[in-house]
Structure 1
Amino acid sequence: MSQERMASGNDSSVTEFILLGLTQQPELQLPLFLLFLGIYVVSAVGNLGLMVLIGLNPHLHTPMYYFLFNLSFTDLCYSSVITPQMLHGFVKQNIISYAECMAQLFFFAFFVIDECCILTSMAYDRYVAICKPLFYRITISPQVCLMLMVSGYVMGFVGAMAHTGSMLRLTFCDGNIINHYMCDIPPLLKLSCTSTSINELVVFIVVGIGIIVPSVAIIASYTLILSNILQIHSTKGRSKAFSTCSSHMIAVSLFFGSSASIYFKPSPVGSLDQNKVSTVFYTIVGPMMNPFIYSLRNKDVQVALNKTLNKRVFT
């Protein structure tokens, strides 16, 4: 069945969509396939490796690495929700069923919202560790860590249900070609021939809560952290305090910067080509970078890696 035939007509019961992918230029398909395949492999190995490393080393069983374990798990999951479908589009026409499209949208929204919550929890953890060190064990207890993570997963589920539920009510009758490499909200809204005002309101509310609230919490945490660090008289002490926060600040900037530029708009159906490029940063590049961001400058992780490798060599 030709692309034109599948995209034509005013059929209100669309059963499948065509994902146009990142680019339509044939000469770029193979290089991009190899590039993103490499990124996905590095991302999967890096996040799985970090999870295994944290699990095998008891001295990493602390709140900070508990959050980092969950961050790696979330990165691995939502990268796996997106990248394989994207890679498929580089080698052949990328057709996805309506049910698969809605499922991809649900899990993508679930893990992205969950990542926002985890990054916020990590900022709170750093605030307590630096500004309230004497109360750290009480404030960031195992029960509190568990509560924060469960709350993040619940918020992810509720937000994903809101996005997916409002999408299921739409009728698609203006074609079935999605100008994206995944079933994202803005390009799907552009295909609808019914009112999307409710969807845009859901996007504004859910993304507002998922971005504004965490952003305010993170900014407040780091404002207090910076104020506390500047009061440290020792240069070595200030340097150590900064080093414990720099990795998280880089990860937060990459994730929130790219995601906010796409969704936090009164109308989420703007420049789709620009959105595709921005989406790459937090759906594909971010999950690959986070294991390196949190391990290259982290002595605890480096020591744990050396110990684990030495055990494997001598056993």
Structure 2
Amino acid sequence: MGNYNQTSTDFILLGLFPSSRTGLFLFILIVFIFLMALVGNLSMILLIFLDIRLHKPMYFLLSQLSLMDLNYISTTVPKMAYDFLFANKSISIIGCGIQSFFLTMACAEGLLLASMAYDRYVAICFPLHYPVRISRRMCILMITGSWIMGSINSCAHTTYALRIPYCQSRSINHFFCDVTVMLTIACIDTTVYEYTVFLSTTLFLLLPFIGIAFSYGRVLLAVYRMNSAERKKKAYSTCSTHLAVVSFYYASFVYMYLRPRFLRTPTEDKVLAVFYIILTPMLNPIIYSLRNKEVIGALRRVTQRISPMKM
């Protein structure tokens, strides 16, 4: 472990797919999911921008969530597809740093999800106070705060990952530059840094998740006490979609980064990464649109406005 590679700064990504028909099938499936996620999230952002009835705090937060998901898939899947098709698995240290930066922005998504949960909590438990508690200024503060905290966290982790010395083998057994996987080829003891990863995951993912669970616990209790069956149905429908997104995201991400190194395997890391980097960005726009009457109504209005223009 004492021999450093001083001549090459490139890393090698070993990839996700095996060189077989199974690998080709998985590749096509992932590309299809990627295209769905790309179209879905771009459509959600444009829809919220174009329809004035969606200019509400909840949908502004949702647009930022879609933007975050686009960061994930755009910095990983195209490179992974290129590597598979052209068998060129090298990635420069700058490219690795870009991937690492955007993927460690996950804490910003955790804070955005917590902000969305707080929005639903106030809307259902304190509807009369909603315009005051969730004002436009408050919404901007929540969005700005999430991006700033995410950027600071990403800069810290990415700077450390790019400055530590690596050994002669710069092969990363993953399909993107994940900081925790890069530590396995470092030529120094990274125990202290692994504690900082654990700490940042706890602060930016686990604690927001606890806050989300508390908020939805209060929301479900308030919904249970409602007299109107129609309001109950609408509230349960909204909460179920949000909880589905939150559970799917946090379960894979927290498990990924809170496990000790000796319990991790490359295959398991790749499977978990597919869940939170590729599948979740595809599911988010589907879950938030199919069961949301306001989004469906906005889609119809925008479609009707566009149709006469084509004629």
- After TM superposition, the score normalised by the length of structure 1 is 0.93
Alignment of 1:256 with 2:244, yes or no, is no
Could you tell me whether the CA contact under 8 Å between 1:189 and 1:269 is conserved in 2?
A: no
Amino acid at match of 2:265: S
Deviation at 1:28, TM superposition (A): 2.8
Deviations 1:64-112 (A, max 9, x none): 11111111111112211111111122211311012211221012112x1
Structure 2 unaligned runs (5+)? Answer: none
Task: Select the residue among 111, 129, 134 that pairs with 1:140.
Answer: 134
Amino acid at match of 2:98: A
Structure 2 matches for 1:175-190, cutoff 5 A?
175-190=169-184
The answer for the alignment partner of 2:283 in structure 1 is 289
Partner Cα distance (2:224, 2:299) in 1:
33
Could you tell me whether the CA contact under 8 Å between 2:13 and 2:90 is conserved in 1?
A: yes
The answer for the alignment partner of 1:21 in structure 2 is 15
Partner Cα distance (1:309, 1:95) in 2:
43
Amino acid at match of 2:92: S
The answer for the alignment partner of 2:295 in structure 1 is 301
The answer for the alignment partner of 1:207 in structure 2 is 201
Partner Cα distance (1:267, 1:147) in 2:
36
Structure 2 matches for 1:35-74, cutoff 5 A?
35-74=29-68
- After TM superposition, the score normalised by the length of structure 2 is 0.94
Task: Among all aligned residue pairs of Structure 1 and Structure 2, give the percentage whose two residues are the same amino acid.
Answer: 38
Could you tell me whether the CA contact under 8 Å between 1:21 and 1:180 is conserved in 2?
A: yes
The answer for the alignment partner of 1:5 in structure 2 is none
Partner Cα distance (1:241, 1:24) in 2:
45
Please give the secondary structure, in 2, of the residue aligned with 1:18. strand
Amino acid at match of 2:94: A
Query: Structure 1 residues 246 and 138, CA, compared in 2 at 3 Å: closer, same or farther?
Result: same
Partner Cα distance (1:263, 1:233) in 2:
43
The answer for the alignment partner of 2:222 in structure 1 is 228
- What RMSD, in angstroms, separates the aligned Cα atoms of the two structures? 1.5
The answer for the alignment partner of 2:119 in structure 1 is 125
Task: Select the residue among 301, 304, 314 that pairs with 2:308.
Answer: 314
Amino acid at match of 1:159: N
The answer for the alignment partner of 1:107 in structure 2 is 102
Could you tell me whether the CA contact under 8 Å between 1:47 and 1:72 is conserved in 2?
A: yes
Partner Cα distance (1:261, 1:38) in 2:
26
Q: Which moved more, 1:200-209 or 1:142-151?
A: 200-209
Structure 2 matches for 1:258-277, cutoff 5 A?
258-267=252-261, 270-277=264-271
Amino acid at match of 2:269: N
Amino acid at match of 2:93: Y
Q: Which moved more, 1:269-278 or 1:173-182?
A: 269-278
Partner Cα distance (2:294, 2:46) in 1:
14
Could you tell me whether the CA contact under 8 Å between 1:15 and 1:97 is conserved in 2?
A: yes
Could you tell me whether the CA contact under 8 Å between 1:29 and 1:90 is conserved in 2?
A: no
Please give the secondary structure, in 2, of the residue aligned with 1:21. coil
Partner Cα distance (1:272, 1:86) in 2:
16
Query: Structure 1 residues 176 and 39, CA, compared in 2 at 3 Å: closer, same or farther?
Result: same
The answer for the alignment partner of 1:90 in structure 2 is 84
Deviations 1:241-294 (A, max 9, x none): 111211111110111011011101243872121011011011011101111000
Q: Which moved more, 1:264-273 or 1:191-200?
A: 264-273
Query: Structure 1 residues 176 and 62, CA, compared in 2 at 3 Å: closer, same or farther?
Result: same
Aligned residues: 306
Could you tell me whether the CA contact under 8 Å between 2:158 and 2:179 is conserved in 1?
A: no
Could you tell me whether the CA contact under 8 Å between 2:4 and 2:187 is conserved in 1?
A: no
Deviation at 1:22, TM superposition (A): 0.9
The list of structure 1 runs, each at least 4 consecutive aligned residues, that deviate by more than 4 angstroms after superposition, is none
Deviation at 1:14, TM superposition (A): 4.4
Query: Structure 1 residues 138 and 59, CA, compared in 2 at 3 Å: closer, same or farther?
Result: same
The answer for the alignment partner of 1:3 in structure 2 is none
Structure 1 unaligned runs (5+)? Answer: 1-8
Deviation at 1:198, TM superposition (A): 2.5
